[in-house]
Structure 1
Amino acid sequence: MIPAQRNKTYMQLAFVVPSLEAAIDHWVRTAGAGPFFVFEELHFDESTYRGQSADVQPCRAAIGQHGDMQIELIQPLTAGPGIWTDVVPLGGSGFHHTGLYCADYEGERAAALAGGEMAFEGLMMGAKTCYVDTVKTLGFMTELITANPVAEMVFGQIKAASEGWDGSDPIRTMG
């Protein structure tokens, strides 16, 4: 068991998909999730993948809301090895990770590593983020996101856009 996840609330479910647009359409039509905000390029600073200096595997991503749950869709652009294709092969579709928003990142990180190994860690918009490989213990990766003002603003905008959303303009960009 991973002690960091006792009595914790996941705030995000993330899926690797072969087509971002098709996956967004599916989530909008079948679950009413959205709107989704597309990020064409993800980049991490000071990052490591499985202990080696490396940026995140190239991908496109989109984040939307389904009630209080954030839905992240990730379309890898290259074959592995990489954080996305470690779990779902390029061109495939499947559940990748849950996300925990952490006030005490270092404490949560230490506890999570008791049940898995560090797969990827870096700075996203200046805040520490990591993916702990918990595939053997939980069947998926676990993402830890440092609570920070930039994430609060971005996640807040995504949540606000979902409240009272009428289904129009399901694919958006931040701005």
Structure 2
Amino acid sequence: MSRIFGAVRQNGYVVRDIQAAMKHWIEVMGVGPWYYMDRVKTDWFRHRGEDSAVEMSIALANSGDLQIELIQQRNDAPSLYKEFLDAGHEGLQHMSYWSHDYQALYDKAIGLGYRIGHEGQIGGDKGRFAYFDTQDHPGTVIEISDISGTKGPFFEKVRQAAMSWDGTRPIREVGGAKS
């Protein structure tokens, strides 16, 4: 539990091959089913205050109440994901905290001196997310994500599916992006 952000709700892994990563999590870790979005469409995305045309694929699954996110960036646009990979890392890149009052949490973090590494929006004004530049140690980037819109119910669907997953349909393609 973070005294600033609350409970960690998601661990985000930046990977070079999302299909191989899903296979590993399914076969070795026994985690699934995975909700896979081949090309996530952002409403907007900024890296260090500059617009960036990042393209990415995302897969989501749960292990208990903790959501696991796999991200494969599909282009060379500036992002913290690209910086992470360019530094020779692959694997756990961020921990995400979710909020129904995103703006208040965002303002609190900025007020405490956190700096934005990258941020964006998916699915309208209740789909914002921000990654703070806390990557001095791999795996410690802090993300906050607004779940007051369509993401909240989708994330709950992913969690519920994991609770009763029997190993069938381990990868489920999703048409629209929800991350």
Q: Using the alignment, how far apart are the partners of 1:88 and 1:74 within structure 2? A: 11
> How far apart in 1 are the matches of 2:147 and 2:14?
24
Q: What is the root-mean-square deviation of aligned Cα atoms in Å?
A: 2.3
1:39/1:62 contact within 8 Å kept: yes
Match of 1:110 among 107, 112, 120: 107
Give the count of matched residue pairs: 171
Superimposed CA distance per residue, residues 105-159 of structure 1 (whole angstroms, 9 cap, x where no aligned partner): 1222133333531112222111221111111378522111112231122112211
- Match of 2:90? 93
Structure 2 length-normalised TM: 0.84
Question: What is the alpha-carbon distance in structure 1 between the residues aligned to residue 170 and residue 40 of structure 2?
Answer: 20
Task: Give the equivalent residue in structure 2 for 1:84.
Answer: 81
Per the alignment, residue 156 of structure 1 pairs with 156
1:44 aligned partner: 42
Change (3 A) 1:29 1:144: same
Deviation >4 Å, runs of 4+: none
Distance in 2, matches of 1:36 and 1:90, equals 27
- How far apart are residue 74 of structure 1 and its match? 0.7
**Residue 130 of structure 2: SS of its match in structure 1?**
strand
* Identical counterparts, % of pairs: 27
1:30 is aligned to 2:36: no
Q: Does 1:67 align with 2:64?
A: yes
Per-residue CA deviations over 1:52-97 (Å, capped at 9, x if unaligned) read 1224x21111001111110000111223532311222398522111
